Amino acid sequence: MKTRELGMSGLKVSAIGLGCMGMSFAYGPPKDENEMIKLIHQALDLGINFFDTAEVYGPFINEELVGKALSPVRDRAIIATKFGFDINPDSSAGWQGLNSKPEHIKKVCDASLKRLKTDVIDLFYQHRVDPDVPIEDVAGAVQDLIKEGKVKYFGLSEAGVETIRRAHAVQPVAALQNEYSMWTRKHEKDVFPVLEALGIGLVAYSPLGKGFLTGKMDENTEFDSSDFRSKLPRFTPEAMKANKALVDLITEIGKQKGATPAQIALAWVLAQRDWIVPIPGTTKLNRLKENVEAVNIELSKSDLEEINNAISEIEIIGNRYPEEMEKLTGN
């Protein structure tokens, strides 16, 4: 597996990581724990060393799963987790509001360390920007944790340009984790230049469009009530029918390259910048292998121009999230 450095942070990870959320949360009922531990070990064997989780996934059970899987092979893995919510296990979302107060961040860190069965978190993200806490205080709290040896690198998720600059001035930000894919490109014009200038990497979540860009679903796809896609505007039957134009495009490109739509979608993300690392999630070994092979697909400059020109002609129907969730992004 090829590796990439997240910006100029010094943090080097596998060119593709593994998003672990769906093993426990958001995409239907939690999967069998032993099967998921086996899958994480298989990811390691395939060359993936970058694993993404968060306290809110479950809540808590995804961190526990990752901890059980990776504690015996901790020296082979880079673990990223997140803080920033007041957890409420009785809520359907698993949380009941934002909380990035410094004292809360430090409590979350200690609890995450226990669940992850480790003495250090490699990359600790603020999951969502908390408008009630100055980002300088957040960065300072993580800086304290870094000095204490509990955290190695600081990250932000779904943060806007001003927040990134202010945080980075206090404690260097190693990575920004934002949604980024062929059908979610809004950060290219404003955020990307700032990341480039400051030497910050991008960890791209949902690089396969929450599964849509794999070509395995259409307007007739039905989601379990515990699958959060059932509540997303882009996954209504009408939106999926309209957005299939993008899948048709990458399917055709895949035929030319001897690749699947998912592999083309991942290869496209990888080709945008050498400091971008996608973290597709999966619960199936065949999909894991398929994703890993995307690293070896070369898209030339002319390929990318052709793809980007075609994408620009396709109107994506539906917002990423319902309005109340969208408010939590881009601060």
- Mean pLDDT lowest among 18-27, 84-93, 287-296, 309-318: 84-93
Question: Measured between alpha carbons, how far is 311 from 188 in angstroms, rounded to an integer?
Answer: 14
Please tell me the total count of domains within the chain.
Answer: 1
113 within a domain of the structure (yes/no): yes
Split at pLDDT 50, 70, 90, the class of 295 is very high
- Each residue's pLDDT tens digit, 113-158: 999 999 999 999 999 999 999 999 999 999 999 999 999 999 999 9
- Please tell me the predicted confidence (pLDDT) of residue 92: 75
281 within a domain of the structure (yes/no): yes
- Each residue's pLDDT tens digit, 64-123: 999 999 999 999 999 999 999 999 888 777 888 999 999 999 999 999 999 999 999 999
Answer yes or no: are the C-beta atoms of 156 and 126 closer than 8 Å: yes
| Positions marked active-site | 57
What pTM was computed for the model? 0.97
55 within a domain of the structure (yes/no): yes
pLDDT of 17 over the 90 cut: yes
For strands 85-87 and 95-98, give the pairing: antiparallel
For strands 173-179 and 201-205, give the pairing: parallel
The CATH number given to whatever domain includes residue 115 is 3.20.20.100
331 within a domain of the structure (yes/no): no
Burial class (CB in 10 A: 0-12, 13-18, 19+), 212: buried
221 within a domain of the structure (yes/no): yes
- Please tell me the predicted confidence (pLDDT) of residue 315: 95
pLDDT of 330 over the 80 cut: no
Count of Cβ atoms closer than 10 Å to residue 75 Cβ: 6
Structural domain for 31, as ranges: 3-326
318 within a domain of the structure (yes/no): yes
- Please tell me the predicted confidence (pLDDT) of residue 272: 97
Split at pLDDT 50, 70, 90, the class of 327 is confident
- Please tell me the predicted confidence (pLDDT) of residue 28: 92
What are the residues facing 83 on neighbouring strands? 126
CA angle (313 as vertex; 310, 315 as ends), nearest 5: 125
Answer yes or no: are the C-beta atoms of 107 and 137 closer than 8 Å: no
65 within a domain of the structure (yes/no): yes
